[in-house]
Amino acid sequence: MKNALFLPRSYRSYCDNKRFVSFTVKNKESDLFILAKRDLTSQAQWILSELRNVIESYIQMDLEFLTSLRPIPVLENAPEIIKEMAESSAKMNVGPMASVAGAISENVARYLCHFSDEVIVENGGDDFIINKKPVTIALYAGDSPFSMKIGIELMPNPDGISVCTSSGTVGHSLSFGNADAVTIIAKSGSLADAAATAICNMIKSKEDIQNALEFTQKIPEILGIVIIFGEEIGAMGEIIRFKHLAIQ
């Protein structure tokens, strides 16, 4: 589609680079794929390093922040990104590190938007998008027949929006569920990431899809959700606009 960008979860080479300059920055476990109007590698590397230093320094003071699978309180003078993660994890009843990738994606994107009016940061399937034209996010769901066959078209979001995915069958992240993909759309990166983790944990079989959708309705911060489990798919939210993809 004209003016659409295809941003798959694990296949970064499929992206349409006519609209953006693409580059990658890495720091320890963080591996970010970034699209902007110009090469911002040095700026992205700097902010990623700063964010990781903040998180790692806090963990040195509170190891439980790293290891807990449940929400925990944080220090009153904790850095803002730590408070964001703690608040989001508390809303979704997961550990604070369940929101780290989404939080980093958002903070990196918001810094880079000072240098580019459109920015997309992808961090292991957790994206933050600041766009002035439509973009389409391709959904990767492992061996599901829906994988890379459908995408979510997003209208312009100059204030930013997060699209985060959790999977019980793909990737190395800890998950207690069996869904091939749970994708959450929200304004907050940390909330979208925590919600994707929590809801993916709920889904042990295809029969759990409806209950997960009903649970999502109780969380006003969630703008949309897509659940893929094998040959089954469930979705909710006015923001969800599916697009058929012709990716081979």
- Taking 80 as the threshold, does the pLDDT of residue 138 lie above it? yes
Contact 138, 8 (CB under 8 A): yes
226 within a domain of the structure (yes/no): yes
List the alpha helices (DSSP H) in the chain.
Answer: 41-61, 64-67, 80-92, 100-112, 189-202, 209-216
5 within a domain of the structure (yes/no): no
2 within a domain of the structure (yes/no): no
- Residue 145 to residues 152, 175, 179, 229, Cα–Cα distance (Å): 16, 21, 13, 10
Q: What residues are paired with 77 via a beta bridge?
A: none
Predicted confidence at residue 123, as pLDDT, reads 94
- Taking 80 as the threshold, does the pLDDT of residue 248 lie above it? no
Confidence (pTM) = 0.91
pLDDT tens digits, one per residue of 5-16 = 444 444 455 566
pLDDT tens digits, one per residue of 66-119 = 999 999 999 999 999 999 999 999 999 999 999 999 999 999 999 999 999 999
57 within a domain of the structure (yes/no): yes
- What mean pLDDT value characterizes the chain? 91
120 sits in the region (left: phi over 0; alpha: psi -120 to 50; else beta) called beta
Place of tokens 């209208």: 155
Average pLDDT for 135-163: 92
Which CATH number do you get for residue 174?
Answer: 3.10.520.10
207 within a domain of the structure (yes/no): yes
- Please tell me which residue, 245 or 40, carries the higher pLDDT value: 40
pLDDT tens digits, one per residue of 154-170 = 999 999 999 999 987 76
Distance CA 61, CA 231 (A): 45
Q: What residues are paired with 228 via a beta bridge?
A: 181, 233
How many domains is the chain partitioned into structurally? 1
pLDDT-above-90 percentage for the chain: 80
pLDDT tens digits, one per residue of 201-214 = 999 999 999 999 99
Contact 146, 167 (CB under 8 A): no
Contact 200, 167 (CB under 8 A): yes
Contact 179, 163 (CB under 8 A): no
